[in-house]
Chains A and B, each alone.
Chain A
Amino acid sequence: MINAFIEIFSYSFLTKAFFVGIFVALCSSLLGIILVLKNYAMIGDGLSHVGFGSLSLATFLHISPLLFSIPVMVVASFFLLKMNRKNLHGDSSIALISMSSLAIGILFSSFQKGMNINLSSYLFGSILAVSTEDLILSILLAIIILIFFFKYYFTIFSITFDPDFAKATGVKVERYYMIFSLFTALIIALGMRIMGTLLISSLIVFPALTTMQYFKSFRGVVIGSFLVSAFSFTFGMVFTCLWDIPVGASIVLFNLLFFLLFKILSWKGRVS
């Protein structure tokens, strides 16, 4: 297994995929804590479907998929957030947008001869699809998100825990929500190449849900999610190389394994 891990770094495409993936996974785990605690976790799922629709359209129009899908997803993320906060049927509005985007994606992919390889890799994920452009973008984004998260740690906690209190004490809560949705859109746009649009939201949801079962402090959940995300991604990549299995599915299954492990730990904790 260690050999397989070392082997990743002997191929440039695997090295690129590893670093893009790990940065995306780490940032998703931090954003996931906020989204899960605010009940906005489905926004990630909605955005990934929007991503599929926009990628399909971009392929049909022969324009750069990433350059086209990023602005579309950013606009969609603001829209989803607004609908989720204002509309009483928040989840239903996400489902509406998800399904419409999926339909657009399927429609435009059907206009092309056969199932396009690019679209297939976007749906199910591929380590071959990662470019140097993705790597630079993911490094930049990871630096920005990590600095933002640790610089405004207390404020982010306050907004997540009690937004009314934060707002009353002068925090621009709406501005922070916009930043969170912007980051989520960018992270999903970058990550869906590796994970696939169908599984990318798992990077957001799994680590937070896993660690919240066991840790009772916000700090514990932040550190725990960070580690769970890093290990799940690394193990997922290694097993992909070892057994030639789809990378997205492999990472999600390791996340599931950690989830079950923490479930057992929390049961044991309660019993003792």
Chain B
Amino acid sequence: MKLLSLEHIHICYEKKVVVEDVSFGIEEGDFLCILGENGSGKSSLLKGILGLIPMAGKMQCFFKKEEIGYLPQFQVHTKFPATVFEVISSGFSTSFLKKDTIKKKVLENMQRFHMEDLRNCSFQELSGGQREKVLLARTLTEQKKILFLDEPTTGLDPVSTKELYQMIHKLNQEQKMTIVMVTHDIDRALEYANKILYLKKKMLFFGTTDQYLSCDICENWVGCGHD
């Protein structure tokens, strides 16, 4: 079943075209990785889909706004006072649930991500891996149909990176959650994703992982020394 369809998408940022004529579609249960070099328009495309920046073209969504999960490329305010519990609770900002129900759900979510001990810890004092885990828990406070992730492993050590990918893979496999991830990590993308979109302002490739492995772009990109 089709979940998202984009036709002839153009995105301009500060009078500069960053995404040009991109068309593709996502099926329910897909794990799509958006690859490309720095400044190729990956994050802009994701933000455009989420309505964070304006874009031109035709987009059809077959899910509600509340069914979207989003893990942004996050730069925390270095001195932001917030506990882990508060950060996860903010996932309910658009919910009409009662305070007690929210509290119960947050605790359940913390158990699901094995972070009960971190409840009252300061978010700014957590390690990079723990922060990403907390932000993922905030995103998944309620049942989501599609999860957008913008370079979630930036700055993480290899162990945390692996753990996060496994967690996302599990969501995709067990809960059939559709994943759209912007990443530089081509090896992991090929390991976990079933579809690849390669962007260089224009869409140079869109297809399955197997198709990607046999195309020229894949060879060129790996050949350029990208990890």
Q: Which residues of A contact B (CB under 8 A)?
A: 37, 154-155, 157-159, 161-162, 164-171, 212, 215-221
Contacts and interface: CB of A to CB of B under 8 A. Distances in A.
B52 to A, nearest CB: 6
Interface string B64-105: 011010101010010111110011011111100000001000
A257 to B, nearest CB: 21
A210 to B, nearest CB: 12
Contact of B90 (A158, A168, A170): A158
B174 to A, nearest CB: 23
B24 to A, nearest CB: 20
B122 interface: yes
A80 to B, nearest CB: 20
Contacts of A215: 81
Query: Which of B50, B82, B86: most chain A Cβ within 10 A?
Result: B82
Contacts of B65: 169-170
B87 A161 contact: yes
Interface of B: 47, 50-52, 65-66, 68, 70, 72, 74, 77, 79-83, 86-87, 89-94, 102, 120, 122, 124-125, 138-139, 148
B93 A166 contact: yes
A217 B86 contact: yes
A168 B83 contact: no
B70 A217 contact: no
Nearest to B121: A216
Nearest to A211: B81
A216 B124 CA distance: 9
Given A37-B77, A161-B80, A168-B72, A218 B86 contact: yes
A216 B83 contact: yes
A162 B124 CA distance: 13
B90 A154 contact: yes
B80 A37 contact: yes
Nearest to A213: B79
A251 B49 CA distance: 49
A162 B73 CA distance: 10
Nearest to B47: A164
B122 A216 contact: yes
30 contacts: A154-B89, A154-B92, A154-B93, A154-B102, A157-B89, A158-B93, A161-B82, A161-B87, A162-B74, A164-B47, A164-B70, A164-B72, A165-B138, A166-B93, A168-B50, A168-B72, A169-B68, A169-B70, A169-B91, A169-B93, A169-B94, A170-B66, A170-B94, A216-B82, A216-B125, A217-B82, A217-B86, A218-B82, A218-B86, A219-B86
Query: Which of A161, A169, A217, A220: most chain B Cβ within 10 A?
Result: A169
Contacts of A221: 81
A217 B91 CA distance: 16
A161 B83 contact: no
B80 A168 contact: no
B70 A165 contact: yes
Contact of B81 (A155, A169, A216): A216
Nearest to A173: B52
A220 B81 CA distance: 8
Nearest to A167: B52
A153 to B, nearest CB: 9
A167 B77 CA distance: 18
Contacts of A155: 93-94
Contacts of A158: 90, 93
B104 to A, nearest CB: 15
Contacts of A166: 90, 93
A220 B122 CA distance: 12
A39 to B, nearest CB: 8
A215 B66 CA distance: 32
Contacts of B47: 164
Nearest to B94: A170
Given A169-B91, A170-B94, 15 more contacts: A37-B77, A154-B93, A158-B93, A161-B82, A162-B72, A162-B74, A166-B90, A166-B93, A168-B148, A170-B65, A212-B79, A216-B122, A217-B82, A217-B86, A218-B81
Nearest to A208: B81
Contacts of B125: 216
Contacts of A37: 77, 80
A127 to B, nearest CB: 33
A106 B50 CA distance: 48
